[in-house]
Amino acid sequence: MLSGGYGFSIAVSVLAIMISIGGISVGIGYATSNRRLKEFGRDELNQCLVNGLLIGGMAALFLPSGIITSIINSATFNSTSVQCPTYLSSNAAICFASGYLSGGGYFLDGVQHASILSQSTGLIISLLSLNTVLGLLSSLKISIIVVSFSLTQVLQPVLNQIQFFIKTLTTVSISVLVQSSILTAIAASATTVILPLGLILRTFYPTRQIGGFLLGSVVGLYVVFPLTYVLNASIISSYQASLSNSTIVSLSSSASGLNSYVVGLDPNSNDTGSIMSGISSLLSSISGQVSNLISAIMDYISYFIMAAFILPAFSVVITSISIKETAALLGSEMTFNIFEMI
């Protein structure tokens, strides 16, 4: 908040100017018996009183040791980030949300969790490796004496499913990065730009509603929005899905084993029964592992969709309502279409 001190100084200066204008208007109104000028001056002085209280109140609320900081610290007392960049450390809730989304992870009730981004990217890397191995295997053509066949038809549905998972997880990662960038922008501008600008615009009569809306936006974006991620993390922690990397490693190993077996076949061998039995056994093993893996990944995808899309949608709704109601409390009737829908 100290970095926004110039904005507060300007707001106080503008307030002093408007008090002077209001006082002069009242004086001239009485001197000339102009009722409109007297009413305008009195209304302006009343608004200046409100704006003065707002400037003092907002300064007290958003100071580093102010009420807002205490509320946020209290709400995130048992939910702290493992690592937090310096530029986010002024707001504990944004710091936590950053660790939860894309940072180094977070602690929730004493338990350490990896960030959504690190979980999704780790699974993407594992699935890409598996996709490469199965893709190589499906491209092999097996020839036994006069019989030739390939595993493309057997493995292509599996490859399609894995590629779908990779695309979905990539979308999840992009969503998480966008949300993290928005929170970073809020941390950088809410109290240093938007809040002082709102106080300044709230002082002028023509821009009073815009100023009230900006002040409401600060409360919603800087306080409510990041705190919803603490709630989201608490909800998602009860839905923690687990997928051991060993499952993917084991499947890749089985596929590599089948690949080595096929490459090492002697095409002139007469022991076709033994060869087919070996291939059938390895395919059966791979089929069972693929079935278990896809089932586990489906659960994991549901976890990611909830964390990256469904819960953030609720965060946006709650934040929008808070902005609308706070702006209305500050005398602003400005709304966007999303607020009117809510």
In the chain, what are the domain boundaries?
1-63, 78-341
Instruction: List pLDDT tens digits, range 284-342.
Output: 666 666 766 777 777 788 888 999 999 999 999 999 999 988 888 877 766 555 445 44
pLDDT in tens, 262-281: 655 555 555 555 655 666 66
Q: Note if the pTM is more than 0.85.
A: no
- Which tens digits make up the pLDDT trace of 239-251? 765 555 555 666 6
Among left, alpha and beta (phi > 0; psi -120 to 50; other), residue 199 is alpha
- Residue 338: CA count within 13 A, CB half-sphere: 10
- In one-letter notation, the amino acid at residue 128 is L
Using alpha carbons, list the distances in angstroms from residue 97 to 80, 121, 122, 168, 261: 9, 18, 20, 22, 49
114 C-beta neighbours (distance < 10 Å), count = 16
Strand partners, 82: none
The 10s digit of each residue's pLDDT in 251-267 is: 666 666 666 656 555 55
* Phi and psi based region of residue 4 (left: phi greater than 0; alpha: psi -120 to 50; beta: remaining): alpha
DSSP state string for 64-88: TTSHHHHHHHHHTTTEEESS--GGG
Burial (0-12, 13-18, 19+ Cβ within 10 Å), 312: buried
